[in-house]
Structures are given as structure tokens and as C-alpha cells.
Amino acid sequence: MSVTIREVAKLSRVSETTVSLAFQKDSRITDKTRDRVFAAAKRLNYVPNSAARDLRHGATRTVGFLVNDIGNPFYASMVQVAERTARALGFQLLTVDSGWLAERETAVVEQLLQNRVRGVLLASNEKSDRGLELLRAAHTPLIAVDTCPQGFAGARVVNDLERAGELAAEHLAEMGCRRLAFLTAAESDASFSAFVALRRGFEQTAVRLTAKAQVVHAGLTVAAGQTAARTLLTQTTLPDGIFCANDLCAYGVIEAADAHGVRVGRDIAVMGIDDLETSALSRLSLTSIRQPVNALVQTAVTALIDAIEHDKQPIIKKTLQPELIARASTRAKGER
């Protein structure tokens, strides 16, 4: 197969130990020997085998990251930050994608365990509890990021999504809206804690400030928002303030509203959450809620790796505050 330490040892006329020590920059090795070893290694294109090293060490230098949908820009940027943070701390990141599916979630958790990841970042809300069970049974250090699975008592670095829901309802009420609606994820995904929290915050505040809010199962894509909004806009009493479970969905609502001749920001207020780069474009100018993704992921990865290095369970419980970014899609009545 591939070049081993043995061949490097042979070529540089030292023992395997010496080669190993040279690669670990052990101070016992002379510069001269080290150079000889490195020269041989380079000539042979030797690359250490991490499986062998890990096996010997009894531990890897890998952390896992479980996300729902890596194709979604929100998760993709989390993965990017996580990878860099982990790398800077000497760990590699193994990202797996559950695709919002229970069965795949267990499959990928199993994959992480087979790979003996030292810790796991959880940004996937469990459909089943099986994955969590497995991780717990393995005593794998765990940190929930972004949102926290229902009934999960462990460490977390999360966005205050209930507060985000409140912010949304408060803002819409303040802008003069009286018939609020929340467009959440598809029926099958709406039980995920993120959406539950958003909904709770939104509904409670809506009830307090205006009236009972309508909840509609839409989805997290432009197409889903569009479809849901089409139905909504043909109702006899249409809502005048719509909060979507993400920005993409809100784009779909805007699209449908435009098509129906309903003026966004005048007849109806629309807002989302995630604050994607495109939401700031003046043509969309979507009011959104920004989540401090970078800080979130950096904090989580750092805490996770710290726990790993100190051989303890992570205990961090941090809640980051969302920020409302008001734009033209939700203008006050007076300004209309």
C-alpha cells in the first residue's frame, strides 16, 4: 500500500522509533538525524497514517458536526466557521448531514462513533432520540449549537429563539400589524425545537399585543414560502404581518405578494430570520433577525475542545441574543 515509517527508517538508516520521534519534533533527536529522516521522508513521499496513530493513541483528534442540511447557506456558514476554529485548535472536523431525516440521523451518528470522534457539535434537532442515546451511551462530549433539542439537558450555545419570536411579534405589532401569521417549517419538521421556540415566543407576544397569531406550515425554501403565501393571500381576511421561519421562505412570500398585487411594506409586512446577505439588497430589503453565527460556533467549538482536552464533559450554557434588522419589508403604518 502506502509508504510506512519502516521504509523511511530503512532509507535514513535509523530505527522506526527515531523516525517517529523526529516527526514529533522530540528534543532527543539531533538536528542532523532529523534532517536525514525528513529528507528520506520527502523522497519517499511519506505521510503518517492517522488511523495507525489514532489507534495507538487510543484517541483521535476529530470532532463531529451534525447538521440538518448543509446545502442551506445558514448551516454551510456554520460548518465553515466550525472547521476553521477546530483546525486552529488542532482538530479536524467531520461534518455529517442528516437531511432532516430520523433514519439518516442515526446512521450518521453511528458513523461519527465509528470514527471515534472526541466530541460532537449538534445542530440537528433530533427526529428520533436514538442518535442522542447513542452519543450519551458513548459518553461523547456534546454541545448543542444554534438550537437545543427538546429535553436536552446538556451543554449548549444557542440563540435565544424564543426571544427572536418575541422580537418579531413586537416589531410587527409596533409597525401597526394586527393580524399576525407565523410561517413555520413543513409539518414533518415543525416539531424541531428551533421552530417550536420561535413559535412560542411569537404566539405569546402576539396574543399579548394584538390577537391570536395564525400558524401555517410552509417550509424553508423560496418555493415553500411562495406556495404557502398564495393560499394565505386568497383568504377572506388576510394577515397583515407575516413572520417566516427563515429568510428564503420570506422571499417566497414576497414573490407571491408581488404577484397578487399585495404591496409588501404597505398592505402587508413580511419578515424572516437568518439575515442572509441577500436580504440587505434594496430590491428585497427584508426585515430579518440576525443570529450571531460566528460567535456562536466559535464559542461552541472552543468549549467543546477545551472539555475534550481536559477530559471532562462540557458544561457551558450560553444564550446569545438575536438582533432585529428592520428594513422596508416591514414599514410602520404611519410611513406608508
Partner DNA sequence: TTGAAAGCGCTAACAC
Partner DNA sequence: GTGTTAGCGCTTTCAA
Phi, psi for 202 (deg, rounded to 5): -65, -50
48 binds its own copies per the rule CB under 8 A: yes
Interface with DNA, residue 14, by CB under 7 A: yes
DSSP code string of 71-94: TSHHHHHHHHHHHHHHHHTT-EEE
Partner interacting with residue 86 (select from its own copies, DNA, none; CB below 5-8 Å by kind): none
DSSP secondary structure code for residue 37 in this structure: H
Is the CB of 48 or the CB of 176 nearer to DNA?
48
Angle of CA points 319, 324, 330, to nearest 5°: 150
Smallest distance, its own copies to C-beta of residue 284, A: 6
Name beta bridge partners: 93.
63
| Residue 110 interaction partner, one of DNA, its own copies, none, beta carbon < 5-8 Å per kind | its own copies
Q: Among residues 133 and 174, whose Cβ is nearest to its own copies?
A: 133
CB of 90 to its own copies, least distance (A): 12
Q: Which three cell numbers stand for residue 196?
A: 417550536
Closest CB 222 distance from its own copies, rounded Å? 5
The secondary structure of residue 213, as a DSSP letter, is: P
Using CB under 8 A as the binding rule, whether residue 24 contacts its own copies is answered as: no
Q: For 20, phi and psi rounded to 5 degrees? A: -55, -50
Compute the least distance from the CB of residue 22 to DNA, in Å.
8
User: Which amino acid does the sequence have at 88?
Assistant: A
96/106 Cα distance (integer angstroms): 11
How far, in Å, CA of 203 to CA of 195, rounded? 12
Q: Which is nearer to DNA, 24 or 235 (CB)?
A: 24
C-alpha cell at 135: 452519543
Question: 24 or 231: whose CB is closer to DNA?
Answer: 24
Nearer to DNA, 10 or 317 (CB): 10
305 binds, among its own copies, DNA, none (CB under 5 to 8 A by kind): none
- Based on the shown chain and the rule CB under 7 A, indicate whether residue 52 belongs to the binding site for DNA: yes
Q: Where are the alpha helices (DSSP H) in 89-141?
A: 102-114, 130-137
Binding site for its own copies (CB under 8 A): 1-2, 45, 47-52, 54-55, 58-60, 69-73, 75-77, 79-80, 83-84, 92, 94-97, 99, 110-111, 113-116, 134, 137-138, 221-222, 248, 251, 254-255, 258-259, 277-278, 280-284
